[in-house]
């Protein structure tokens, strides 16, 4: 009996620790109208995940439900109302203190920019073929604007479906995107209005950039990303280099398997690894150390402690050196720095 009780406790603890399962149980307990109102505020992937989970929790017991309620109450107790309608509260205080005109001028300077992506929401619910169909006759800049809004994986799939001769141009436009003009905003709003009968009020004014372009390229696959990077290099070498640099960064080393990571670590001198590891996340540091002998780990830890604080510029330079070596070994075929599908960076 003690064993059975222990197993039940472990199962319940696992249940309550899983936020998705807890949320699914709560949705099953409230009214259909209330649950649907919550679901309309979530991202498509979140709705899918919750929907799948609700099927698996349909027969949970009373104890599990009580545990979820306890968790919900504990979370609710930790929340405050300080941030609730903070914008209106700050505006009201400043208006009372400074008068309407001066408060308005002050808010223009200090208030964070408002970003409203409501008018682009229909895109999140469209699949890549639908997006391609919508963009078929549109200007490349409109296509780039749409790509910069999509999740990287969806954008990459959509880009693959577009004509190859357009792909590098679109990636370049994403990477070099500047604040969007009113004309471009109006065009995209009208495009979405015509295609999905959903109009919005305003679009985000700052989208795209090197990071967005790199994220799309990371989801394109090795062959396609290399082909597009080659074309981008001919178009503008610096932009291509910036995208390539962003496609694989030091933190991504955690995704390399232990064998390949060990090969990489053996080719890096301690003088480079010490500053590089100074800026590493604990999980990455632990994985790197797991590839080394205990003597090597102890040596590096002792030297890190002896050196004390290291300038940020030195840390960044060291991490870039490690990534450069990883790319060199990957190009040689010595290591793989991508996923199991052989889509290497």
Number of domains in the chain: 4
Give the span between the Cα atoms of 59 and 20, in whole angstroms.
16
Reported as a pLDDT band with limits 50, 70 and 90, residue 317 is: confident
Number of residues written out for the chain: 345
**Structure confidence by residue, pLDDT tens digits, 85-111:** 566 667 777 777 778 777 777 766 676
* pLDDT in the model for residue 342: 42
- Same structural domain, 289 and 196: no
Residues 194-213, mean pLDDT to the nearest whole number: 56
The domain of 175 spans: 118-245
Residues 103 and 217 in one domain: no
Residues 259, 184 share a domain: no
In this structure, are 41 and 132 located in the same domain? no
Residue 293, both tokens: 């002998």
Q: Are residues 136 and 123 in the same domain?
A: yes
Residue 21 domain-assigned (yes or no): yes
CA distance 127 to 155: 10
- The enclosing domain of 299 has a CATH number of 1.10.220.30
Confidence of residue 44 (pLDDT cuts 50, 70, 90): confident
Residues 157 and 49 in one domain: no
- Residue pair 302/309 in contact (Cβ under 8 Å)? The answer is no
185 and 257 share one domain: no
Dist. CA 39–CA 2, nearest whole Å? 40
pLDDT (tens digit per residue) in 58-91: 777 888 888 887 777 777 665 554 444 566 667 7
* Domain assignment of residue 221, yes or no: yes
Same domain, 98 and 181: no
Name the domain boundary from 245, 269, 284: 245
In a domain, 257, yes or no: yes
Shared-domain flag, residues 177 and 106: no
169: in domain? yes
182 pLDDT more than 70:
no
Asked whether residue 186 is domain-assigned, the answer is: yes
pLDDT of 24: 84
Same domain, 205 and 129: yes
- 279: helix, strand or coil: coil
């Amino acid at each position: 009996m003690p064993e059975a009780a222990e197993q039940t406790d472990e199962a319940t603890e696992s249940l309550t620790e899983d936020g998705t399962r807890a949320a699914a149980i709560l949705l099953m307990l409230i009214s259909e109208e209330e649950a649907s109102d919550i679901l309309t505020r979530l991202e498509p992937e979140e709705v899918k995940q919750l929907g799948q989970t609700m099927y698996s929790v349909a027969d949970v017991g009373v104890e599990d439900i009580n545990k979820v309620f306890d968790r919900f109450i504990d979370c609710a107790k930790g929340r405050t109302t300080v941030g609730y309608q903070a914008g209106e509260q700050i505006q009201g205080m400043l208006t009372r203190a400074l008068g309407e005109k001066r408060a308005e001028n002050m808010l223009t300077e200090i208030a964070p920019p408002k970003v409203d992506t409501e008018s682009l929401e229909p895109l999140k619910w469209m699949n890549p073929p639908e997006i391609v169909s919508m963009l078929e006759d549109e200007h490349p800049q409109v296509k780039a604007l749409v790509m910069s809004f999509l999740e990287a994986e969806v954008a990459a799939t959509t880009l693959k479906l577009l004509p190859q001769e357009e792909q590098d141009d679109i990636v370049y436009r994403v990477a070099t995107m500047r604040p969007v003009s009113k004309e471009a905003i109006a065009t995209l709003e009208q495009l979405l209005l015509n295609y999905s009968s959903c109009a919005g009020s305003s679009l985000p004014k700052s989208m795209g950039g090197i990071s967005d372009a790199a994220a799309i390229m990371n989801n394109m696959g090795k062959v396609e990303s290399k082909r597009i990077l080659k074309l981008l290099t001919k178009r503008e070498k610096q932009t291509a280099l910036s995208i390539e640099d962003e496609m694989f960064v030091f933190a991504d080393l955690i995704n390399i398997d232990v064998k390949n990571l060990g090969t990489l670590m053996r080719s890096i001198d301690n003088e480079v690894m010490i500053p590089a590891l100074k800026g590493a996340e604990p999980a990455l540091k632990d994985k790197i150390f797991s590839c080394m002998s205990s003597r090597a780990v102890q040596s590096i830890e002792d030297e890190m402690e002896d050196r004390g604080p290291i300038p940020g510029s030195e840390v960044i330079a060291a991490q870039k050196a490690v990534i450069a070596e990883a790319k060199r070994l990957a190009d040689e075929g010595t290591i793989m720095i991508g996923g199991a599908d052989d889509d290497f960076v």
